Structure 1
Amino acid sequence: MSEYQYYEFAALDHALDARQQAELRAISTRATITPASFVNTYEWGDLKADPRQLVERYFDAFLYLSNWGTHRLMFRIPGTLLDEQTTAAYCVGDATSAWTTGEHTVLDLIAEDEDGVYEEDWAEGGGEGRLAAMVAARTELAGGDRRLLYLAWLLCVQAGQVPDQNVEPPVPPGLGQLNAALRSATTFLRIDEHLVTAAATASTDDESDADRASRLRHKLASIPQADKDEMLLRVAVGDVQRVRAELLARGDTAVAPDGQDRRTAGQLVALARTYRDDWLRTRHRQQARRKAEHDRAVAAVREQRLATLAARQEQAWRQVEDLIEARKGADYDAAVALLQDLGEISRRLSQTGPYQQRVAELRQSHRRKTTLINRLNRAGLGRVGSS
């Protein structure tokens, strides 16, 4: 396959009506279109529309990936829940952007793989299911959780689009405790986990479930009864996600406290490098330990095999002859391996002379079996100075 592109748009707050679906069908005759989504893949050609315009007009979420390494994630959020002034502190490079369109704010995140690595899993299954794993991050962002915005800023830092001396924006709480949706977004956008770990050192712990429930209980108690009735009505007719976001956003947002010490982009990159080096050293130690354990296990098995073979050497020599007579490559290999074990036993018992003599006789009696002789030669069996 020379090309692979995957486009997925999702309508979350409102279903697409028949007219809107017809408009989308005019863009693509082969896309899968439902009241909640527009999905298409391309092995040749491209989408005949600008994804930005489709999100502005129809959709609340968009995911794109290609086999040349581009990953793109876009969310449309009601402007009453997220405004450009809030996003401006975090969207500071080409990798991230935000703008206002009508009553919404759109957040656009793009990650490019400069090495252009082709991932085989894109060709088999592609992007299916990836957007669904991330849409909860949109609801949380709309509800005041700024972790996705901070991750967007880290994306710009990683892409080299933030000068080293620039100071970070407010660090939201819970950055070191990313939920499944944010972890999926971090992985999809290829944000360095060590950079996230470095940034999270200045993030306060997220509140517990009990504390969150208590805070929400007090928040609900402060909402006028008429407003609660209106929200319940909207939930009943299916506007669940937006109502939840509005409730979470009432009165507070998950932003960094005032007076927080801010670090520069350069300091974060340096700290991430330290974490990465520590991780690599730990991984190398673990790999070395596992290899040593594996080598000891292999050696123990071989010692047991040699001990058993030492007690039945004559049977082993007859087995070598039987394997050779089978005239199959795999049997030749088994015969050579058995001869090598017999050679090791002869060295340990100081019987290399008789062993070499028997190997020489075996080579002579089977000299016309070129395939076997080549294998013996490669194993160094029967040559001068070999054992």
Structure 2
Amino acid sequence: MSEYQYVAFRAVDRPLSDTQLAYAEKQSSRSELSKWEMSVEYHYGSFRGDVNGLLRGGFDLYLAYADYGEREVRLRLPHGLPFSRKILAPFLAFDNITWTKDAKGGGILTVAISHDPGEKEDIEEFTVYLDALESIRQQLITGDLRAFYLLWLCGAVDEFDELDETVAPPVPHGLDQMPAKSLDLLQFFGLDPLFCQAAAEGVPAYEPSDDEDPIQLWARSISETRSRALLLRFLKDDLVETKAELIAEIHDTGKMIDWPTTPCERTLNDLISAVSILRITEEKKQDKIAKAEANRQAAKVEKIRQARMEQMRASPQTWLTKAEKTAAAGGTDNYRAAAEMLADVREAIGGPRGERLAGNRASKIAKAHPTRNMLKSALRKKGLLP
């Protein structure tokens, strides 16, 4: 049995330069490569290129998947993690989650897990998870601690030997208001999307006022000359890189405030149990929604059918002829449609007359097409032929 592996890189801030592209080409002779993305699939063998070298050489995201039990993502943050050491400490307590600083600033954040084959659902579509990773990276750059908590969940919940002992870090406010696109990454790591909702139970929302928003405070503090210079830079230069540099500047000046959190003292097992309860509730909710939608659709179909039957009562011969022409057109769907028309005519007219009109036309149709057994079967199922 072959082993399947998939590796992908994505550039977010800017496309690769020609030099960076040439370096990427040397890392794998089998990859699909552009200035924005690189991907390669393996059924035998594995990727032997320099992952961190590629991330420092133009790419911003890395995703790797192997069906024998390994899943990994890496994000390069050119200006580092905009959180204090005190905030970061509990999030980096597992080997599954690591932060590697670059020599000249910035660094690479890695989340990697290993599991037994078949323990988690296989994955086929990877673009959605790269999109999720891009969304999370943008949150991290702007100091959104919720994104770090989500990454912590992705790595920590895999530590099955310590589920009863490991206490979750303080929960960022507004965790249950995470962007839907970011939440998709939970599924890449085999986790229920409801994990953030479970962890956020009892935790306040986060809606900072202008007086608390560090970006608003910084914007009011800079001079008009600086504002105009920045506006020109946004219009002429790389928008994402400029924004990232300014966020880093705000953090370095001390104007960034730590994202508010609430200690909840929940173990990983507590979170898993809470997710199970939420999943049962969610499935009941979705089942109720599905049943209500099915009832609405059934009512709509019946309304259309009753309108058609009114027409049949007014002009039965028109519909008998239409059923005959539909059956003559051939095909299983047409046979069923013809049988349904005749059955509806029978019901619309009612009584012996309805039975006679529908039955006689069904017999005429069957005699006109003696070799069409599927047609006769459709008519019999509606009780139109003996």
Give me the TM-score of the superposition, normalised by structure 1: 0.72
Partner residue, 2:306: 303
CA 1:191 to 1:253, structure 2 compared with 1: closer, same or farther past 3 Å? farther
For residues 154-303 of structure 1, what are the structure 2 equivalents within 5 Å? 154-159=153-158, 161=160, 162-179=162-179, 182-183=182-183, 185=185, 191-208=191-208, 210-213=210-213, 216-217=216-217, 221=221, 240=242, 241-248=244-251, 250-251=253-254, 252-256=256-260, 260-303=263-306
In structure 1, distance between residues paired with 2:295 and 2:86: 56
In structure 2, distance between residues paired with 1:201 and 1:5: 36
Q: Does 1:96 align with 2:97?
A: yes
Q: Displacement, 1:324? A: 5.0
Aligned 8 A contact 1:6 1:42 in 2: yes
1:129-184 per-residue CA deviation (whole Å, 9 max, x = no partner) reads: 665544312412xx4x3222211222235435451342111222332332477456
* Identity among equivalent pairs (%): 19
Aligned 8 A contact 1:91 1:149 in 2: no
Aligned 8 A contact 2:195 2:275 in 1: yes
Aligned 8 A contact 1:13 1:242 in 2: no
Partner residue, 1:152: 151
Deviates more, 1:287-296 or 1:43-52: 43-52
Q: Does 1:49 align with 2:49?
A: yes
In structure 2, distance between residues paired with 1:214 and 1:87: 19
CA 1:312 to 1:205, structure 2 compared with 1: closer, same or farther past 3 Å? closer
Deviates more, 1:329-338 or 1:65-74: 65-74
CA 1:282 to 1:256, structure 2 compared with 1: closer, same or farther past 3 Å? same
Q: Which one-letter code corresponds to 1:150 in the other structure?
A: Y
Partner residue, 1:362: 364
CA 1:201 to 1:60, structure 2 compared with 1: closer, same or farther past 3 Å? farther
1:362-386 per-residue CA deviation (whole Å, 9 max, x = no partner) reads: 3774473333334323444222xxx
CA 1:153 to 1:355, structure 2 compared with 1: closer, same or farther past 3 Å? same
Give me the TM-score of the superposition, normalised by structure 2: 0.72
Q: What SS does the corresponding residue of 1:203 show, helix, strand or coil?
A: coil
Q: Does 1:7 align with 2:8?
A: yes
RMSD over equivalenced CA pairs, Å: 4.5
Aligned 8 A contact 2:324 2:361 in 1: no
Q: What SS does the corresponding residue of 2:177 show, helix, strand or coil?
A: coil
Q: Unpaired runs of 5+ in structure 1? A: none
In structure 1, distance between residues paired with 2:12 and 2:315: 75
Q: What SS does the corresponding residue of 2:171 show, helix, strand or coil?
A: coil
CA 1:32 to 1:274, structure 2 compared with 1: closer, same or farther past 3 Å? same
In structure 1, distance between residues paired with 2:369 and 2:216: 87
In structure 2, distance between residues paired with 1:336 and 1:382: 10
In structure 2, distance between residues paired with 1:17 and 1:331: 60
Q: Displacement, 1:86? A: 5.1
Aligned 8 A contact 2:327 2:335 in 1: yes
Q: What SS does the corresponding residue of 1:211 show, helix, strand or coil?
A: coil
In structure 2, distance between residues paired with 1:178 and 1:330: 47
In structure 1, distance between residues paired with 2:348 and 2:82: 78
Q: Does 1:137 align with 2:139?
A: yes
Partner residue, 2:346: 343
Q: Which entry has the higher C-alpha Rg, 1 or 2?
A: 1
